Amino acid sequence: MMLSAAKALCARDLRLLWRRRGDALQPALFALLVVVLFALALGGEPQALAKVAPAVLWLAMLLAGLLALDTLFRGDAEDGSLEQWMLAPVPLSWLVLVRTAMHWLTTALPLLAATPLLAELLHLPRAQLPVLMVSLALGTPLLSLLGAVVAALTVGMRRSGILVALLALPLYVPVLVFGAGSVAAAAQGLDPWGALLLLGAGLAVALVLAPLAAAAAIRIALG
């Protein structure tokens, strides 16, 4: 039952993505814009950019993900699909997990694919790119899961844009710190794996707890 529901939800989301495939590029375009703006504000000098490149890239990903959070539950809340999920024979937390995973696939994966290009724009030293990619690969799902809890708390609210950001950003701090910090550690010649493993551990915990919290939040918000 849970597997068939997951398969149905995945198929649905992939179909929906295909019907609106133009929209899928928007997070990546936003991240690109953020990078451009940072480069312009900082003066475009390669040395200066290279020093801040990991932080700027992490921020661009984080902010793009934050904006994309709006589409996680909004569509399903507005047309009544979330209600039907609450009434389904499978746990709501399971559906939330599958939905968040699909959302990450459709919004963060293009971002990850664009990262090497964006890194080049900021003159990120080549040696730091692998660590950056691993930190993003571990960090963006974690951000999606934490964001899902916040999005669930505010589902059904009409003008929730800034509020979602204000609620989510304090929760994002550890992920940002360990993510960008791992690259900074590698740049200093230190071992980045401590921070990366912490991100991994956080991801493992969040995979279990975040859907439960988000499901509880949806029940509170819609009930």
Partner 1 sequence: MPPTDTSHPPLLAARGLRFARNEQPVFGPLDFAVDAGEALLVQGANGAGKTTLLRVLAGLLRADEGHIDVDGQPASPALRARAIAYLGHLPALKADLTALENLHFLCGLHGRRRGQLPGNALGIVGLSGYEDTLARQLSAGQKKRLSLARLWLAPAPLWLLDEPYANLDLEGINLVNRMVQAHLRDGGAALLTTHGAYAAPPVRTRMLQLERPA
Partner 2 sequence: MNPVVRWFHQLGSPPYFDRFAARWAPVGYVLGALVMAFGIWAALFQVPADYQQGDSFRILYIHVPSAWMSMAVFALMAIYAAIALIWRIKLCEILAMACAPIGAAFTLITLATGSIWGKPMWGTWWDWDPRLTTELILLFLYLGVIGLYNAIDDRRAAARAAGLLAIVGVALLPVIHYSVTWWNSLHQGQTISLFGKSHMDPSMLPPLFAMIVGTKLWFIGSLLARARADNLRREAGKDWVARAAGLPARAASAGVPR
Q: Does 25 bind partner 2 (CB under 8 A)?
A: no
Q: Which amino acid is at 148?
A: A
What are the structure tokens assigned to 41, written together? 């504000």
The entry of partner 2, partner 1, none near residue 89 (CB within 5 to 8 angstroms by kind) is partner 1
User: Residue 213's binding partner, choosing from partner 2, partner 1, none, with beta-carbon cut-off 5 to 8 A by kind?
Assistant: partner 2
d(CA 23, CA 211): 25
Q: Does 9 bind partner 1 (CB under 8 A)?
A: yes
Which of residues 14 and 197 has its CB atom nearest to partner 2 in the complex? 197
Instruction: Convert 182-214 to b/e letters by CB count within 10 Å (16 or more is b).
Output: bbbbbbeeeebeebbebbbebbeebeeebbbbb
Beta carbon nearer to partner 1, 8 or 204: 8
Residue 132 burial class via C-beta count within 10 angstroms: exposed 0-12, middle 13-18, buried 19 and up: buried
46, 75, 130, 194: which one binds partner 1 (CB under 8 A): 75
Q: Which is nearer to partner 2, 9 or 213 (CB)?
A: 213
Q: Which two tokens stand for residue 73?
A: 């539950």
Residue 54 contact among partner 2, partner 1, none, beta carbon within 5 to 8 Å by kind: none
Of the pair 81, 160, the CB lying nearest partner 1 is at 81
- Candidates 37, 44, 83, 157; binder of partner 1 (CB under 8 A) is 83
For residues 34 and 63, is the Cβ–Cβ distance under 8 A? yes
User: Can you tell me which residue has the tokens 């439960």?
Assistant: 212
Residue 135, token pair as written in the block: 């930190």
Whole-number Å distance between alpha carbons of 217 and 149: 7
**Which residues sit at the interface with partner 2, rule CB under 8 A?**
149-150, 153-154, 157, 160, 163, 166-167, 169-171, 173-174, 177-178, 181, 184-185, 188, 190, 195, 202, 213, 216-217, 220-221, 223
Which residues here bind partner 1, judged by CB under 8 A? 1, 4-5, 7-9, 11-12, 15-16, 19-20, 75, 78-81, 83-90, 222-223
